[in-house]
Amino acid sequence: MDTIYALSSGALPAGVGIVRISGPESGMALHALAGGLPEPRRAVVRALVDPKSRDVIDEALVLWMPGPGTFTGEDTVELHCHGSRAVIARLIESLAQWPGLRMAEPGEFARRAFLNGRLDLTEAEGLADLVAAETEAQRRQALSQARGALAERLLAWRETLLRCVAEVEAQLDFSDEGDVGSELEVASRLRGVLLEVRELLSGARLAERIRDGFVIVLVGAPNAGKSTLLNAFARRDVAIVSAEPGTTRDLVTVPLELSGYAVTLIDTAGLRETVSAVEAEGVRRARLAAEEADLVLELVPSGQSALVGDAPAASGGPDRWVIETKADLLEGGDLLRGRHRVSAITGAGLRELELALGEWLTRQGVDGFSGVSGAAPVNARQREGLLRLAERLESVLKRGQPRGVDELLGEELRGCLRAIGRVTGEVDPESVLGAIFGRFCIGK
C-alpha cells in the first residue's frame, strides 16, 4: 500500500501548517527528513532537511506515531511547521521525491481509518459533518455521530441478532435438549430491537434538519413585504424590492443561523390569481415550498386579513405564523393575539421576531431529540438503512408467530444482520464509499 501525505491544517498562510504522512514508509520518510525517529507519541523540535539537497526546510514540531494505534491504523507522522506557503510547498516537494509516497486523495486518511477498522461508516459520516459544521447544533450532532452514538446502537443490535441466530440454530439442531431457549425468548429480543429502531427513526427528520437546515418559507399576497423582510434577515440586498406587484417570480433562498441552528429562509412569489404563465408558475412553486416547509410565515400588511392564519402543525404539515408587516405605515391599532408586527424599514419588531424564531427552533431541537441521545440517523442513507432493518424485523416477527422456528427464520435473521452491515459499511459497494469519502478535504 502506498504511503500518503497532505496538508491537514487550514488554508495558508497560517501560524502553523500541519503535514500528515500515513503508511508503511512514514518512518523512513521522517528519518530522512529529521535525521532519526523520536520517541513514539512525544512531540520534539527537529530541523527538517531536504534528503537530496540537504537544505534546511524549516524548524518543526515532529510527532512519530507507530500503528495500529493511530487515526488511520497505520504508521503516521505529523509535521507541525510554520504555516507559510513557501515552507509547505518545499516540504511537499521533498516528500514527492521519496519512493513510495504520493499525495493523498480527498478523504483518503479517513477511508483508510474505515478500512482498517478504526471507525465505521456512520462515524466517518459524523466526522465529515463535524468538519463541515457551521452551527452549534450541527457541531453537537456531528460530534455525537463521530464518537459512535449510532455505531454503539448498531453494534448492540448486531450482538442481539447474533444471539438470536445462534438460539434458532440450536433449537433446530438440539430440539430435544432442555436448556435450549424458546422461540418466545427470540421474539421478545427482536421486538426490543424493533422498538429501539423505531425510536431512532422517529428522530430522523429532525436530525436531517439540524444537519441540512430548517426551512422557513415566507408567503403572502404581492407587496406584503416578503422580499424586504428577507433582505432584513440576510443583512444585505438578496431579493429585488419594488412597488410593482409580482416582482418575485422564483424562489429566493438565504442560509442563516438562528440560535445555533441552520436555517434556509425562502422568499416566494406573491399568492394571487394571474394570467401570466411565468407568474403562475412562481405561485405554484410558492405553494409547493410552503407545503414542504418546517415553518410558514404568512406576511400580511398591518390592518389586513390573513389568507390562512396561525395554525400549529397538523397531519405532518408545517406550523404557520401570521406576521403583520409595514408597521411604520400603521397609526395605532391593536395587535391580534399570537401575531408579530414588524417594520423592515425602521427595524421595529425584527429583534422580537428573531428571538421568537430562535425559541421555536430550540423547541424543535429539545422535543425532537428527547430519548434518542443524538443517535438518530442524520442522512438519507442511514435512514433508509434503518427503515430496511425495521421492515426485516417486522417480517421475521410475523413469520415466526404462526410457523415457529425453521431454517428460513434463521436466514431472515441473517438478512437483518446484512441490513445493519449496510449502515455500518461492512457490505457497502465501492461506489457508495467513494461518494461518502469524496466529501472530505484532501488532508482528512
Q: Which of 334, 369, 404 is the last residue of a domain?
A: 369
List the Cα angle 204/389/187 in 5-degree steps: 120
Would residue 199 count as lying in a domain?
A: no
Per the CB < 8 A criterion, the answer to whether 180 and 171 are in contact is: yes
Per-residue pLDDT tens over the stretch 222-280: 888 888 888 888 888 776 665 566 556 678 889 999 988 999 999 988 777 776 777 77
- 113 located within any domain: no
Question: What's residue 371's pLDDT?
Answer: 45
From 77, 104, 131, give the residue that closes a domain. Answer: 104
Is the same domain home to 156 and 283? no
Mean pLDDT computed over 212-229: 89
* 403 in the same domain as 348: no
pLDDT at 59: 96
Q: Binning pLDDT at 50, 70 and 90, where does residue 367 land?
A: low
Same domain, 288 and 248: yes
Is residue 36 domain-shared with residue 98, that is, in the same domain? yes
Average pLDDT, the chain: 85
pLDDT of residue 402: 41
CATH code of the domain covering residue 88:
3.30.1360.120
Same domain, 248 and 339: yes
| Domain identity same for 351 and 221 | yes
Q: What is the model's pLDDT at position 301?
A: 86
* CATH number of 361's domain: 3.40.50.300
Residue 138 has pLDDT above 80, yes or no: yes
- pLDDT of 153 higher than 90: yes
Phi, then psi, of 194 in degrees rounded to 5: -60, -40
Q: Is the pLDDT of residue 312 over 70?
A: no
Among 75, 104, 133, the domain boundary falls at: 104
Kindly report which listed range (36-50, 140-154, 228-242, 344-358) carries the lowest average pLDDT score.
Answer: 228-242
Do 68 and 178 fall within a single domain? Answer: no
The rounded percent of the chain whose pLDDT value lies above 70 is 85
- Cell 478500512 belongs to residue: 115
In a domain? residue 365:
yes
Residues 128 and 15 in one domain: no
| 176 and 220 belong to one structural domain | no
User: Residue 174: what pLDDT?
Assistant: 54
Q: Is residue 158 part of a domain?
A: yes
pTM exceeds cut of 0.85: no
pLDDT of residue 247: 59
Of 41 and 172, which is predicted with more confidence? 41
Using 50, 70 and 90 to split pLDDT, how confident is the model at 3?
Answer: very high
Average pLDDT over residues 178-192: 75
Q: What is the pLDDT of residue 180?
A: 46
Which one is predicted more confidently, 370 or 274?
Answer: 274
pLDDT at 332: 55
| C-alpha 44, offset from chain centre | 37
Q: So what's the pLDDT on residue 283?
A: 82
pLDDT at 246: 58
| Number of domains comprising the chain | 3
Q: Which three cell numbers stand for residue 350?
A: 425584527
Based on the fold, state whether residues 360 and 409 are members of the same structural domain. no
| pLDDT at site 241 | 67
Side by side, which strands form the sheet with 319-325? 252-258, 261-267, 214-220, 295-301, 319-325, 340-341
Any domain includes 200? no
Looking at the fold, whether 58 and 174 belong to one and the same domain comes out as: no
Report if residue 21 sits inside a domain: yes
pLDDT 10s digits, 389-434:
999 999 888 875 545 556 677 788 889 999 999 999 887 667 678 8
Query: CA 32, 38, 42: angle at the middle one, nearest 5?
Result: 135
Whole-angstrom distance, CA of residue 138 vs CA of residue 129: 8
Residue 277 belongs to what domain range? 210-369
Residue the block writes with cell 524549516: 58
Q: Is residue 427 part of a domain?
A: yes
Task: Round to whole Å and give the CA distance between 34 and 62.
Answer: 8
Residue 362 covered by a domain: yes
End-to-end CA distance of the chain: 18
Q: How confident is the model at residue 159 (pLDDT cuts 50, 70, 90)?
A: very high
| pLDDT over threshold 80, residue 348 | yes
Least confident of 220-229, 304-313, 378-387: 304-313
Q: How far apart are CA 364 and CA 1, in angstroms?
A: 47
CATH number assigned to the domain comprising residue 411: 1.20.120.430
Burial (CB count <10 Å: 0-12, 13-18, 19+), residue 276: exposed
pLDDT value for 345: 79
3-state secondary structure the chain: CCEEEEECCCCCCEEEEEEEEECCCHHHHHHHHHCCCCCCCCCEEEEEECCCCCCEEEEEEEEEECCCCCCCCCCEEEEEEEECHHHHHHHHHHHHCCCCEEECCCCHHHHHHHHCCCCCHHHHHHHHHHHHCCCHHHHHHHHHHHCCHHHHHHHHHHHHHHHHHHHHHHHHHCCCCCCCCCHHHHHHHHHHHHHHHHHHHHCHHHHHHHHHCEEEEEEECCCCCHHHHHHHHHCCCCCCCCCCCCCCCCCEEEEEEECCEEEEEEECCCCCCCCCHHHHHHHHHHHHHHHHCCEEEEEEECCCCCCCCCECCCCCCCEEEEEEECHHHCCCCCCCCCCEECCCCCCCCHHHHHHHHHHHHHHHHHHHHCCCCCCCCCCHHHHHHHHHHHHHHHHHHHHHHHHCCCHHHHHHHHHHHHHHHHHHCCCCCHHHHHHHHCCCCCCC
Q: What is the mean pLDDT of residues 28-54?
A: 94
Cα(115)–Cα(71) distance, integer angstroms: 11
Q: Tell me, what's the pLDDT at 118?
A: 94
Residues 360 and 243 placed together within one structural domain of the fold = yes
